[in-house]
Amino acid sequence: MNTFRSFEEFTSQGAEIAGARPLVTVGSFDGLHLGHQYLVAELVEWARRESAPCVVVTFSVHPREFMTGKPMPALTTPEHKRRLLLKAGVDAVLLLHFDEKLQKVSAREFMEQYVRGRLNARAMLVGFNNRIGKDGEGSFEVLREIGRAIGVEVREAERVEVSGQAMSSSAIRQHVQNGDFLWARKMLGRAYSIVGQVIHGDQRGRTLGFPTANISLLGLASPPLGVYGVRVYLDGRQWLGAANIGTRPTVDPMRRLPLLEVHLLDFSGDLYGREIEVEFLFKLREERRFSGLDALKAQLAADVTEIRRRGDLSEAR
């Protein structure tokens, strides 16, 4: 087992990892951008030198959202983040629900009870300028001193910049919401994508000859409303696709919450309940309301033709 949903679950089912005295890091890791990737790579390399496992402690919802009560649109779903971390070479992920109990834990309590206690860690790598514990009291210097007292070596990762701009999930979030995929890609080290489970819709696209896979955007940072050329990944295969982010004004004028609808080119099959990854390539046009279904259908056909022209599967990862 490589994913745990609580410290209690790790204690009961992660005994082998704990017995090996792992190296750990703690953070939200939203988007797992290049700064996060460098930190995780350093952790993995350090762990391999020590012949020990490495563990990432992260959260299903950003702690700041819980503490402020204000929604913080995420760059990655918890499942997407978990996959990215394991792909990066991490041996185990603790995906925790941040709550009032954790909010009240001091830096010393966290180090003593959880890092040294529950995880039985030998060392911890702290993100640059990251803070842990109640009211952000656990700076690197504070954590290092606590670590010395309890037998946990604490190091701080280096600051990472791209084109002079510091790595920041907040900055990437803004780039995504502005539709600036180039900057998002520079900071993520990969194309921006959304991973989600296909949900049931009204099958309107199917009646128009363009069936779509619908994905909820609730809680996620997303590009501006519009039509996009995308690449869709499923079960190790890939398809070009036409994606719409919007409220479907032609067929559902009362809708207010945006939805992601994706038409996979040259795909046949049932996607309901399946999890797909939608990688954004370029924006094709704005979403708009058409005079009727025939006009909408004609535009969808033109969109697909243009996406085929501009899309190139040879550039896929």
Residue 102: inside a domain: yes
Whole-prediction pTM = 0.89
Residue 174: inside a domain: no
Q: Of the residues 147, 162, 177, which one is the last residue of a structural domain?
A: 162
| Side chain identity at residue 295, one-letter code | A
**Tokens representing residue 288 in the block:** 């708009």
What's the confidence (pLDDT) of residue 313?
A: 52
* pLDDT grade for 281, boundaries at 50, 70 and 90: very high
What's the confidence (pLDDT) of residue 205?
A: 63
3-state SS string for the chain: CCEECCHHHHHHHCHHHHHCCCEEEECCCCCCCHHHHHHHHHHHHHHHHCCCCEEEEEECCCHHHHHHCCCCCECCCHHHHHHHHHHCCCCEEEEECCCHHHHCCCHHHHHHHHHHHHCCCCEEEECCCCCECHHHCECHHHHHHHHHHHCCEEEECCCCEECCEECCHHHHHHHHHCCCHHHHHHHHCCCCEEEEECECCCCHHHHCCCCCEEEECCCECCCCCEEEEEEEEECCEEEEEEEEEECCCCCCCCCCCCEEEEEECCCCCCCCCCEEEEEEEEEEECCCCCCCHHHHHHHHHHHHHHHHHHCCHHHCC
Domain encompassing residue 259: 191-315
For the ranges 99-103, 168-172, 196-200, 290-294, the lowest mean pLDDT is seen at 290-294
Residue 182: inside a domain: no
Gap between the Cα atoms of 290 and 265, Å rounded: 23
User: Which of residues 179 and 314 earns the better pLDDT score?
Assistant: 179
Nearest of 81, 137, 147, 127 to residue 104 by alpha carbon: 137
Supply the mean pLDDT for the chain: 92
For position 262, which CATH number holds? 2.40.30.30
For position 64, which CATH number holds? 3.40.50.620
Residues 78 and 224 in one domain: no
Mean pLDDT of 46-75: 94
pLDDT surpassing 60 at residue 108? yes
pLDDT digits (tens, 9 = 90+) for 140-155: 999 999 999 999 999 9
* pLDDT grade for 189, boundaries at 50, 70 and 90: very high
Residue 185: inside a domain: no
pLDDT surpassing 50 at residue 316? yes
What's the confidence (pLDDT) of residue 308?
A: 93
Count of domains in the chain? 2
pLDDT digits (tens, 9 = 90+) for 228-239: 999 999 999 999
What's the confidence (pLDDT) of residue 204?
A: 64
Q: Chain centroid to CA 13: how far?
A: 25
Mean pLDDT of 181-202: 91
Residues 144 and 201 in one domain: no
Residue 19: inside a domain: yes
Q: Name the percent of the chain lying above pLDDT 70.
A: 96
Residues 224 and 273 in one domain: yes
Beta bridge partners of 229: 242, 282
Cα 275 to Cα 42, 189, 215, 262, 271, distances in angstroms: 30, 22, 9, 13, 8
Residues 276 and 195 in one domain: yes
Residues 137 and 275 in one domain: no
What's the confidence (pLDDT) of residue 314?
A: 44
Mean pLDDT of 56-79: 93
What's the confidence (pLDDT) of residue 159?
A: 86
